[in-house]
Structure 1
Amino acid sequence: MSSATIGEWLTLWLMAFALGMDAFSIGLGMGMLRLRLRQIMKIGIVIGLFHIGMPLAGLLLGKQLSVHFGGIAIMIGGGLLLLLGMQMIVSSFKAGAEPFVTPVGFGLIVFAVSASLDSFSVGLSLGIYGARTLLTIAMFGMMSMLLTWGGLLLGKKVQGWLGPYSEALGGVILLAFGAKLLFPI
């Protein structure tokens, strides 16, 4: 293997890890909801699939659209995370309140889209440089799935320690991550 190939693989793994850390952070917040292990497995797989589909769409659209939609995708993802975070905080203070959006059914799709919108922008950028499509999306999907599971499992553990305050903490994490996307320092 040439040093250029090794450098490409290392770069793609680092990008996959960075994108997966978004999913880890969001998973950490959502893991503080009372989720069963089966739900956690399903959520990780769906997030992984979205982290394959979104950069694939970005890679296919390429250079022309990256200028127009890269920033919009980040704003939409940040806005969704702010909404989910605020909802979790508010519902944590209401006795017996069910979360507005849960990671089940349509809520899982909203969760997956908000976690993977930034990978769409990365895919657009990688489309410009002609990155290897199959390799890129496989790395992104695998890393985000594994890190989502890690975040959800850690969030579930923290939820057990914090009890009723865990949902509010999860909301604060999602809120902070959404604000970070919208207002980078």
Structure 2
Amino acid sequence: MVYFCILIAKMNLVTLIIIALGLSMDSFTVSVSCGVIHRKVILRDFLLTAFFMGLFQGGMTMIGYYLGLSFKEHIESLDHWIAFGLLFFLGLKMIYEGSKHEAKRNFCPSKLNVIIGLSIATSIDALAIGVSFAILLNSAPINASTIIAVTTFFMSLIGIFMGARFSKSRKLPFEIIGGIILIGIGLKILLEHTVLL
């Protein structure tokens, strides 16, 4: 995604929306997993999750921009490992909780520390995008960050509602499936970055 952005000579609204949709895919997938664990619609929790997903995507874009090119190599050498570590840990926790008897489970995707952990892990790529914006844009990417944040918010909200509706009609080990999905996303991020090195 970073290399795609660097090749774009002129940032326009369509380009920004495409980038925002691409960045929001991991948040969308994780939100589906959160929804299937909830199993019922809890509007407050769903809005909170989507809010933090959007906030961190937009915020990380701004942080990446201000870090600038001087820190690019350091960021790119660590970002994928941080994302992988967070998603792997949360995925293992979900699998462990899912393997326990339902009465003993305590993994809750609506806990603030879980939401923040997932939001950070899924927004690491936005940090790298922000660095690339330092090359492409002459001013701070306030508009770009806002579009990314809003897009991620809505994609996450759609994902979590989809997950909750899906879980109502099927009795499956959703926490285990969700954990495997999180680990899979972490591996995808790790492989995307290490293969390109």
Q: Same fold (TM over 0.5)?
A: yes
Runs of 4+ in structure 1 deviating by more than 6 angstroms, as ranges, are: none
**Where does residue 57 of structure 2 map in the other structure?**
51
- How many pairs align? 181
Alignment of 1:16-165 (within 5 A): 16-34=20-38, 36-95=42-101, 96-100=103-107, 102-130=109-137, 133-165=141-173
CA distance in structure 2 between the partners assigned to 1:131 and 1:38 by the alignment: 38
Check conservation: 1:103, 1:111, Cα contact below 8 A: no
Letter in 1 for 2:148: F
Unaligned segments of structure 2, at least 5 residues: 1-8
Aligned identity (percent) is 25
Q: Which runs of 5+ in 1 are unaligned?
A: none
User: Is the deviation greater in 9-18 or in 66-75?
Assistant: 66-75
Q: Partner amino acid for 2:37?
A: L
* Bigger shift: residues 166-175 or 125-134: 125-134
Where 1:33 maps in the other structure, the secondary structure is helix
Calculate the aligned-residue CA RMSD, in Å: 1.9
Q: Is this contact kept in 2: 1:54–1:123, CA < 8 A?
A: yes
Aligned residue type for 2:171 = G
Matched, 1:172 2:176: no
Q: CA 1:118 to 1:128, structure 2 compared with 1: closer, same or farther past 3 Å? A: same
When the two structures are superposed, what TM-score results if normalisation uses the length of structure 1? 0.88
State the alpha-carbon separation in 2 of the partners of residues 128 and 138 from structure 1: 19
